Structure 1
Amino acid sequence: MSLISTHHILPKRWPLLACLLASLFFLGGCANNDDEGDIAADSGEQQIYDEAQRYLNARNFDLAIRALQALESRYPFGRYAEQAQLELIYAHYGAYSPEAAVEAADRFIRLHPQHPNVDYAYYMKGLATATASQDFLSRFTPTDKTLRDTSFAKEAFAEFSQLVTRFPDSPYATDAKSRMVYLRNLLARNEIHVANYYFRRGAYLAAANRGRYVVENFQGTPAVGDGLAVMAQGYLILGMDDLAQNAIDTLVLNYPEHPALNKKGEFDTVYTQEGLQRSIINKLSFGLFDPPRPPQFDSRKGIS
């Protein structure tokens, strides 16, 4: 296998004797697994490398990691030393250990900055960074990633950007660009979620500023329409009618089908200062309790 192709997240109590037998069987199985991962002291470089390939092809990443680490430690200047370091990045990634994968990628880049396949290390570092915030179950369950912590998405975007800038002709550049588009859309949508949160808290200027941030920094993403709607709504509530109308005009011109607009092309989700009177409880709690209910903007689902 060549790594440079991407393989690419009690019924009733038993009798005491039965419990003892089951325990011995379980421990025996664990011992066998440990023995399987042991590398014989007299194993040659080619033998260890072939064994690592067998584990990688079988997606047994834990044993692949052990074999690759043994290969590098026993033959640090051997013919497979650098290849083992590269494949170790992928093995850690496949074993759902993104931090270890990033560390291995950083190490390879530091030791071999001019290696012909160093672009692969940058690419895998981006992949690992993008998944660093995910737990094991989240990789297999449908979740809205735009609601999660986006710090890793920002770091991954920077890593992919570095790959594309330094190695524009890399075979991984096209995929990296696609992932950058996805991450940029994710970051923009997260800003809209934050703006909606500010609306719920009664922080209308902060909400409008988040919408403006999306419009100014994430042009071309699907969230820009929502950013304009957020600006319009925030400015209307604050009584900044001129700014609100500018946002509405831009929304009508560029996103005439946005769910915040009615069939006549008018901003339909209008909450003015008068329409958002705050209760005594809301004022006394500084917006923590009983907030007014402005609309929540998410054009993927309509306006609620």
Structure 2
Amino acid sequence: MAVGKSGAKWLSIALVLSFLSACGGGTQERALDSYTAEEIYKQGELELETGSRPKDAIRYFQEVERLYPYSEWAKRSLIMQAFSQHKAKEYEEARSTAQRFLDTYPGDEDAPYAAYLMALSYYDQIDEVGRDQGLTFQALQGMRTVIEQYPDSDYARSAMLKFELAFDHLAGKEMEIGRYYLKRRQYTAAINRFRTVVQDFQTTTHTAEALHRLTEAYLGLGLTAEAQTSAAILGFNYQSSPFYDDSFRLLKGRGLAPEARGDSWLSQVYRQMVRGEWL
């Protein structure tokens, strides 16, 4: 297949770098020096656009930084290294490179993106709910940094959305543990988990179920006032939820109905959420 003049030039760069990678330097480095920083940088971009191995692009961007330090192309290559490393799922390396960019160019227009990449490297490692949630906390912290330090950037809205999803993920972890205890009739331990969701994660998608599980757990302990109050909060905020139907049936089966009773922590939540009495 015929290769045009421009294509042949890019091919020669690729061959030189490939040889460098295999041989570890030598006289071939002088051959690489004959290409400009822009030419090597654009080959890295080309690898990202057309290649399936972002690690190849990483090497090009690293070469720009090595051969042309302190240049504008070196700065661009540094942020592109971080992006390429993230794309290659080299998350620790991506964070390190992004942090190096922020340390070197704190006021640069790409600083918000570097901070976002750092947060994203944690966020994209969040897996199923059952795993340790340390990465989720770090993702939340990173997204908050983007939101607070770069509120007018193009990445603030995306950071906010991912913050909410990560926050929901943490609530899901509490629910999973609470269900585990509830299934084994360890009601007090279960209540502690569901209470955390109601008090600390009210804006997540898990609040309705947490209130229903509290009704179940308190009934298991024979604490009917707390069970009724939990169901009353559930009915006020999520009356159309199937969890409210389940709680209503549980109470009705014992001759009870959802209503605020007693002076427990749930009564305080009821006064705040239903009556608006915050003081």
TM-score interval for Structure 1 and Structure 2 normalised by the shorter chain: 0.7 to 0.9
Q: Residue 221 of structure 2 aligns with which residue?
A: 238
- Separation in structure 2 between the aligned mates of residue 81 and residue 33 of structure 1, nearest angstrom: 17
Corresponding residue number in structure 1 for 2:200: 217
Q: Secondary structure at the match of 1:132?
A: coil
Q: Structure 2 residue aligned with 1:87, among 62, 70, 80? A: 80
Residues 266-290 of structure 1 deviation map (CA, whole Å, 9 limit, x = unaligned)? 1438999xxxxxxxxxxxxxxxxxx
Check if 1:200 corresponds to 2:183: yes
Q: What letter corresponds to residue 58 of structure 1 in structure 2?
A: T
Cα distance change of structure 1 residues 270 and 195 upon mapping to structure 2, 3 Å threshold: farther
Q: How does 1:85-124 map to 2 (within 5 A)?
A: 85-124=78-117
Question: Equivalences for 1:52-91 in 2 at 5 Å?
Answer: 52-59=44-51, 60-91=53-84
* CA distance 1:93–1:271, shift in 2 (3 Å): farther
Q: What secondary structure, in the 3-state scheme, does the structure 2 residue paired with 1:68 have?
A: helix
Structure 2 counterpart of 1:161, from 144, 166, 171: 144
Equivalent in the alignment of 2:276: none
- How far 1:48 moved relative to its partner? 1.3
Secondary structure of 2:101's aligned partner: helix
**What is the CA–CA distance in structure 2 between the aligned matches of 1:125 and 1:267, rounded to whole Å?**
48
- The answer to whether residue 240 in structure 2 is matched with residue 249 in structure 1 is no
Shift of 1:246: 1.1
2: CA distance, partners of 1:37 / 1:52:
15
TM-score by length of 1: 0.69
What's the CA shift for 1:146?
2.7
Instruction: Please tell me the residue identity of whatever aligns with 2:68.
Output: Y
Farther off after superposition, 77-86 or 162-171: 77-86
Which consecutive residues of structure 1, in runs of 5 or more, have no partner in the other structure? Answer: 1-30, 135-144, 273-304
Alignment correspondent of 1:268: 250
Q: Which amino acid aligns with 1:48?
A: I
Q: Which has the higher helix share?
A: 2
Range moving further from structure 2, 80-89 or 148-157: 148-157
Gaps of at least 5 residues in structure 2 are 1-14, 23-28, 255-279
- After superposition, the Cα gap between the structure-2 partners of 1:159 and 1:270, relative to the gap in structure 1 and judged at 3 Å, is farther
8 Å CA contact 1:184, 1:221 repeated in 2: yes
What SS does the aligned partner of 1:262 have? helix
Q: 1:49 aligns with which of 41, 44, 61?
A: 41
Q: Percent identity over the alignment?
A: 26
Residues in 2 aligned to 1:202 and 1:93: alpha-carbon distance in whole angstroms: 44
Secondary structure in 1 matching 2:71? coil
Asked if residue 172 in structure 1 is aligned to residue 155 in structure 2, the reply is yes
- The verdict on how the C-alpha distance between 1:261 and 1:116 changes in structure 2, with shifts beyond 3 A counting, is closer
CA RMSD in angstroms comes to 2.6
Partner residue in 1 for 2:267:
none
SS in 1 for 2:32: coil
Q: TM-score normalised to the size of structure 2?
A: 0.75
Aligned residues: 231
Amino acid at match of 1:226: E
